[in-house]
Structure 1
Amino acid sequence: MTWTNSPMTTRSRPTVDPVVDWPMIDTVLLDMDGTLLDKYFDDYFWEHYVPQVFAEKHGMDHEQSRNTLLQRYRAVESTLQWTDLDFWSEQLDLDIPALKRSIDHLVAVHPYVIDFLDFLKQHEKTTCLVTAAHDKTLQIKLAKTELGPRFDRIVCAGEIGLPKENPSFWQRLQETLGFHRSQTLLADDTASVLQAARQHGIEHLVFVAKPSSRSPVRHSADFLSITTFNELMR
Structure 2
Amino acid sequence: MNTPPPCEKIFPLLPWNAIDTVLLDMDGTILDKHFDDYFWEQYLPEHYSLVHDIPVEEAKEHLLTRYHKVKDTLDWADLNFWSRELGIDLQELKLRINHLIGVHPYVIEFLEYCLKAGKKLYLITNAHSSTLSIKLEKTALGPWFDRVVCAEEVGLAKEESGFWERLQQMLHFDKTRTLLVDDTEKVLFVAQEYGLAHLLFVARPSSRQRVQYSCHFPSIEYFKELLPHEVVKK
Which residue of structure 1 lines up, in the alignment, with residue 221 of structure 2? 227
TM-score (norm 2): 0.94
Q: Deviations over 1:110-165 (max 9, x none)?
A: 00000100010110100000000000000000000000000001100000000101
Alignment partner of 1:49 out of 22, 29, 43: 43
Deviation at 1:9, TM superposition (A): 2.5
**Partner AA of 1:9 in structure 2:** P
Moved over 4 A (4+): none
* Conservation of the 8 A alpha-carbon contact between 1:28 and 1:184: yes
1:118-157 equivalence runs, <5 A = 118-157=112-151
State the SS of the aligned residue for 1:206.
strand
- Does 2:214 correspond to 1:212? no
Between the aligned partners of 1:89 and 1:165, the Cα distance in structure 2 is: 23
Between the aligned partners of 1:52 and 1:31, the Cα distance in structure 2 is: 28
Between the aligned partners of 1:47 and 1:92, the Cα distance in structure 2 is: 15
* Conservation of the 8 A alpha-carbon contact between 2:33 and 2:206: yes
Which residue of structure 2 lines up, in the alignment, with residue 9 of structure 1? 6
Which residue of structure 2 lines up, in the alignment, with residue 19 of structure 1? 13
Q: Deviations over 1:61-80 (max 9, x none)?
A: 00000000001000100000
* Conservation of the 8 A alpha-carbon contact between 1:8 and 1:218: no
1:1-234 equivalence runs, <5 A = 9=6, 11=8, 14-15=9-10, 17-234=11-228
Deviation at 1:10, TM superposition (A): 5.2
Which residue of structure 1 lines up, in the alignment, with residue 231 of structure 2? none
Deviation at 1:167, TM superposition (A): 2.8
**Partner AA of 2:216 in structure 1:** D
State the SS of the aligned residue for 1:9.
coil
**Partner AA of 2:159 in structure 1:** E
Between the aligned partners of 2:190 and 2:216, the Cα distance in structure 1 is: 13
- Could you list the runs of 5+ residues in structure 1 that have no partner in the other structure? 1-6
**Partner AA of 1:182 in structure 2:** T
Between the aligned partners of 1:9 and 1:153, the Cα distance in structure 2 is: 36
Between the aligned partners of 1:213 and 1:8, the Cα distance in structure 2 is: 22
Between the aligned partners of 2:5 and 2:161, the Cα distance in structure 1 is: 21
Q: RMSD between aligned alpha carbons?
A: 1.1
Between the aligned partners of 2:145 and 2:161, the Cα distance in structure 1 is: 23
Between the aligned partners of 1:126 and 1:20, the Cα distance in structure 2 is: 16
- Could you list the runs of 5+ residues in structure 2 that have no partner in the other structure? 229-234
Between the aligned partners of 1:228 and 1:92, the Cα distance in structure 2 is: 36
TM-score (norm 1): 0.94
Between the aligned partners of 2:142 and 2:50, the Cα distance in structure 1 is: 36
Percent identical residues: 52
Between the aligned partners of 2:93 and 2:114, the Cα distance in structure 1 is: 34
* Conservation of the 8 A alpha-carbon contact between 2:7 and 2:215: no
